[in-house]
Amino acid sequence: MIIVEDLHKSFGEVKAVQGVSFRAEDGKITGLLGPNGAGKSTTLRALYTVLKPDSGTATIDGINVVEDSVGARSRIGTLPHGSGLYPHLTARENISYYAELYNMPADTIDGRVQKVIDELDINDFADRRTKGFSQGQKTKVSLARSLVHGPQNILLDEPSNGLDVMATRALRELIRGLRESGKCVLFSSHVMQEVAALCDEIVIISSGKVAMQDTPDGIRATTGCDDLEEAFVKAIDMVEVES
Amino acid sequence: MKTIRTVFLKEIVDNFRDRRTLVSALLMGPLFGPILFAFVINLSVKQSLENADEALDLPVIGAEFAPNLIRYLQSNNINIEDGPEDRAAAIEAVSLGEEDVVIVIPENFGENLSDMTPATIEVITDQANTQAERETRRASRALRAYGQEIAAMRLTVRGVSPMIMRPLNVDEVDVSTPSGRSAILLGMLSYFFIFALLTGGMNLAIDATAGERERGSLEPLLCLPVKRDHLIFGKIFAACFFMAISLSLSLTCFHFTLKFMPLQELGMTPNFGPTVVVLAFLLLVPFALVGASLMTLVASFTKSFKEAQTWVSVVLLAPTMPILVVSILMVRPSTELMFIPSLSQHLLLVGLIKNEPLNLLHVLVSVSGTLIVGALLTWVCARLYRREGLLG
């Protein structure tokens, strides 16, 4: 479970995140939705402790990300924006490298790596060097890499970027599978349809603030719009009027 | 510790598969030094031997006015050739580089000699041309010697000992050993080795920071539950490893190519046997830590692989500075100097090649001083890696 409370982060003059609070529960898919530059990535980066928040707290399974960043990081699997692979290593080696860095027991690594390779259906190219992989293949390997240690919390930053229809569908299936096994999935997107298709909870972020957090139905009701896209635009407008 | 080892091993595997790293670590660095050195040595040996033994072809205008002088020159291994038509033509030929040096003997040469007024001989040359300079020096020397001979004869005829013209007898005694003489040339070797060492780890150092960032693999790496310090240590040690490979290859390569260099003909007996190779490796290898951490440090300030390459190339030149200063000032090795990385390695290596006994205190100061500087730089790298701005 991920709890974010009143998170602030500025880069010089730019206030990227100004008071973001939300909860992402276990066994649910929570979507961070917002236009480009709304502060989604900054929020996620604070959660996987690459950025240190100026104020506010964030906990992952009760572990404070600032006070025990290594502990918090061990509870998460991440797919950062444009997640890169090592081109000279095979897909399997890329995954194993992370498994070792996750400090998994040496004798379990090979088995676990094979398991995620099966789960993500990447056996066909698991032993090829990742140089020249398609975007879909790369995303799958990156995802396998972040899931290899079986994390309770999974943070995905725009995971469907650059994926074709088939790959996107496969990704959605996988994310639903993670929910079924009781994981906490938090992912960011600026694509309404995707969030609508997947999420149990939607957190709409605009200009560094949370405009709304609710179920898709709840959001439709609050904004009085049947169409989620309309609702999204309306919710963002509401923030901008306030500020 | 486990993280450091994991990162270290991964970087080694990764970079052994990277052609760019392999070429620079295993080919460029190790071969560049020995080949360039062999080239320079061969060239200089050829020139100095050629000039001493080969006859000098000397164009002379007005040879018919000084038959004795011409005979004298010929007996000094100088071939007299017909020069250009006149003085003006000679000047033009020299300035165009068609001739290196031309001697002009005026019509009244013999007359002046018998009148005992100084007889003029013109040596037309272009001082900007180094090749000509050597030939000119040789021609002038021969002419001066001829003049002295005539002077001596004139004094003898008047019953005065020619020795009266030589109040001083300057005799230079060269105490340099053959190994010592070679050390001057071989002194620049230490830079080749340091260069080979640095190029060996250059790509890895860049790849570990700027490269990872550019590829987008840095952010997921930083999301792992490991200490950033350990990541950077693993990367720096991997760079050190490649530097050590490159250095050992370079030393071994040199050991073999040295046999093909005509150093004996220059009176040099460089001391570069297997023992020296091993000792040189042990003396130089601590510098790898300084090189690797310095390059990582520089590369972590840059935004892209290309930018990093530009700046890190500057690091390749940095170790030359102390070596250059010391070579110019001709400083003797001292304990204080052993605290300066690259310089201490240079001085110890030169001593080694000169076949001087190793000063253990110097070795100790050099090794520990270099490692301390390396450790400090590594610490700074680790501090830098903790910055948020690292991701750019």
Per-residue confidence (pLDDT) for residue B270, from 0 to 100: 66
B216 touches chain A (CB under 8 A): yes
Query: Strand locations in chain B, DSSP E?
Result: 56-61, 78-82, 101-104, 122-125
Mutation test of the interface with chain A: which of B5, B224, B231, B387, choosing the one with the most A Cβ atoms within 10 A?
A: B224
**Distance set, CA B348 to CA A45, A49, A144, A161, B277 (Å):** 50, 47, 52, 58, 13
Which residues have C-beta within 8 Å of that of residue B161, sequence separation ≥ 6?
B155
Residue of B nearest to A87 (CA): B14
Per-residue confidence (pLDDT) for residue B283, from 0 to 100: 92
* Residue A121 confidence (pLDDT) above 80: yes
Task: Please tell me the distance in Å from B215's CA to the nearest CA on chain A.
Answer: 5
Q: Do B223 and A51 touch (CB under 8 A)?
A: no
Find tokens 């050590």 and name the residue: B244
d(CA B225, CA A64): 14
* Residue B74 confidence (pLDDT) above 80: yes
Structural tokens at position B215: 């590829």
Report the largest interatomic distance among the alpha carbons of chain B, rounded to a whole angstrom. 102
**How many CA atoms lie less than 13 Å away from B96 in the CB half-sphere?**
8
- pTM of the predicted model as reported, rounded to 2 decimal places: 0.78
Higher pLDDT, B183 or B285: B285
* Residue B179 confidence (pLDDT) above 60: no
Percent of chain B topping pLDDT 70? 90
B217 touches chain A (CB under 8 A): yes
Mean pLDDT for the stretch of residues A62-80: 90
Task: Please tell me the distance in Å from B24's CA to the nearest CA on chain A.
Answer: 17
Per-residue confidence (pLDDT) for residue B366, from 0 to 100: 93
Residues from A contacting B (CB-CB < 8 Å) are: 45, 48-52, 70-71, 73-74, 76, 78-89, 93, 97-98, 100-103, 129, 142, 145-146
Q: Do B13 and A89 touch (CB under 8 A)?
A: yes
Task: Please tell me the distance in Å from A46's CA to the nearest CA on chain B.
Answer: 10
The segment with the largest mean pLDDT, out of A219-228, B77-86, B225-234, is B225-234
Residue B311: other Cβ atoms inside 10 A: 15
Q: Do B218 and A84 touch (CB under 8 A)?
A: yes
**Distance set, CA B65 to CA B69, B88, B143, B151 (Å):** 9, 18, 15, 19
Measured between beta carbons, which residues in chain B are less than 8 angstroms from residue A142?
220
Grade residue B356 by pLDDT with cuts at 50, 70 and 90: confident
Per-residue confidence (pLDDT) for residue A243, from 0 to 100: 55
What is the torsion angle, in degrees rounded to the nearest 10, for the CA atoms of residue A35, residue A41, residue A46 and residue A52? -90
Grade residue B178 by pLDDT with cuts at 50, 70 and 90: low
Mean pLDDT for the stretch of residues B373-385: 92
Task: Please tell me the distance in Å from A52's CA to the nearest CA on chain B.
Answer: 8
In this predicted structure, which of B66-75, B218-227, B314-323 has the lowest mean pLDDT? B314-323
Grade residue A94 by pLDDT with cuts at 50, 70 and 90: very high
Measured between beta carbons, which residues in chain B are less than 8 angstroms from residue A85?
215, 217
* Touching A: B residues 16-45, CB under 8 Å: 17-18
* pLDDT tens digits, B323-347: 777 777 777 788 888 888 888 898 8
B11 touches chain A (CB under 8 A): no
Residues paired with A30 in a beta bridge:
A186, A201
Measured between beta carbons, which residues in chain A are less than 8 angstroms from residue B217?
83-86
Q: CB pairs below 8 Å between A and B: how many?
A: 80
B342 in Cβ contact with B197 (< 8 Å) = no
* Residue B182 confidence (pLDDT) above 80: no
Find tokens 């020069």 and name the residue: B83
Task: Please tell me the distance in Å from A233's CA to the nearest CA on chain B.
Answer: 31
Grade residue B392 by pLDDT with cuts at 50, 70 and 90: low
Q: Do B220 and A142 touch (CB under 8 A)?
A: yes
Element (H, E) at A209: strand A209-214
DSSP letter, residue A129:
B
Mutation test of the interface with chain B: which of A9, A50, A102, choosing the one with the most B Cβ atoms within 10 A?
A: A50
Q: Write the single-letter amino acid at A93.
A: E
* Residue A114 confidence (pLDDT) above 60: yes
Which residues have C-beta within 8 Å of that of residue B321, sequence separation ≥ 6?
none
* Touching A: B residues 369-388, CB under 8 Å: 388
Mean pLDDT for the stretch of residues B174-200: 71
* pLDDT tens digits, A13-31: 888 899 899 999 999 999 9
Q: Do B14 and A83 touch (CB under 8 A)?
A: no
Per-residue confidence (pLDDT) for residue B6, from 0 to 100: 93
Q: Write the single-letter amino acid at A189.
A: S
Grade residue B191 by pLDDT with cuts at 50, 70 and 90: confident
The segment with the largest mean pLDDT, out of A36-40, A60-64, A133-137, B256-260, is A60-64
Of B10, B215, B391, the CB nearest to A50: B391
Q: Write the single-letter amino acid at B3.
A: T
Catalogue the long-range contacts made by A166-174 (C-beta closer than 8 Å, 24 or more residues apart): A166/A136, A167/A135, A167/A136, A167/A139, A167/A140, A168/A194, A170/A121, A170/A140, A171/A139, A171/A143, A172/A197, A172/A198, A174/A119, A174/A120, A174/A143
* pLDDT tens digits, B195-209: 888 888 888 888 888
Percent of chain B topping pLDDT 90? 17
* pLDDT tens digits, B222-244: 888 888 899 999 999 999 999 99
Of A52, A101, A145, the CB nearest to B226: A101
Of B13, B220, B227, the CB nearest to A78: B220
* Residue B16 confidence (pLDDT) above 60: yes
Q: Do A129 and B391 touch (CB under 8 A)?
A: no
* Helix spans in chain B (H): 2-16, 19-22, 29-53, 67-75, 87-95, 109-115, 130-157, 178-186, 189-206, 212-215, 218-222, 228-257, 274-284, 287-299, 305-317, 320-329, 343-353, 360-385
Residues paired with A189 in a beta bridge:
A33
Cα-Cα end-to-end distance for chain B: 28
d(CA B186, CA B41): 10
Grade residue B50 by pLDDT with cuts at 50, 70 and 90: low
Find tokens 């990535």 and name the residue: A41
